[in-house]
Amino acid sequence: MIMASSQVKSPGNLRLLLTGVGGQGTLLASRLLGEAALAAGYSPLVSETHGMAQRGGIVISTVVLGELQSPIISPGEADILLGFEALETFRALTYCHADSLVIANTATIIPYTVAVGKGRYPEVESLLSLMAQHVREVCAFDAAALARQAGSPLAVNMVILGALTATEYLPLSQTEILAAIRGHTKTEFLEANLAAFQMGAAAARDPDNWRRRSL
Interacting positions 61-90 with other proteins (CB under 8 A): 67-77, 87-88, 90
Site for other proteins in 38-57 (CB under 8 A): 38, 42-57
Answer whether 147's CB lies under 8 Å from 159's CB: yes
Judged by CB under 8 A, does residue 115 bind other proteins? yes
Judged by CB under 8 A, does residue 189 bind other proteins? no
CB of 5 or CB of 187, closer to other proteins: 5
Judged by CB under 8 A, does residue 215 bind other proteins? no
Strand partners, 96: 78
Answer whether 15's CB lies under 8 Å from 60's CB: no
Judged by CB under 8 A, does residue 127 bind other proteins? yes
CB of 47 or CB of 167, closer to other proteins: 47
> Which of 99, 125, 130, 182 is close enough to bind other proteins by CB under 8 A?
130
Judged by CB under 8 A, does residue 117 bind other proteins? yes
Judged by CB under 8 A, does residue 11 bind other proteins? no
Q: Which amino acid is at 128?
A: L
CA distance 80 to 77: 9
DSSP, collapsed to helix, strand or coil, labels residue 96 as strand
Q: Residues binding other proteins: what is the number (CB under 8 A)?
A: 72
Quick one: how far is CA 94 from the chain centroid? 14
- State in angstroms the smallest separation of the CB of 106 from other proteins: 16
Judged by CB under 8 A, does residue 145 bind other proteins? no
Judged by CB under 8 A, does residue 120 bind other proteins? yes
> Rounded to the nearest 10 degrees, how much is the dihedral formed by the CA atoms of 80, 83, 88, 94?
10
- State in angstroms the smallest separation of the CB of 107 from other proteins: 13
Judged by CB under 8 A, does residue 177 bind other proteins? no
Judged by CB under 8 A, does residue 140 bind other proteins? no
Torsional sign, CA 84, 86, 87, 90: positive
CA distance 164 to 14: 13
DSSP, collapsed to helix, strand or coil, labels residue 184 as coil
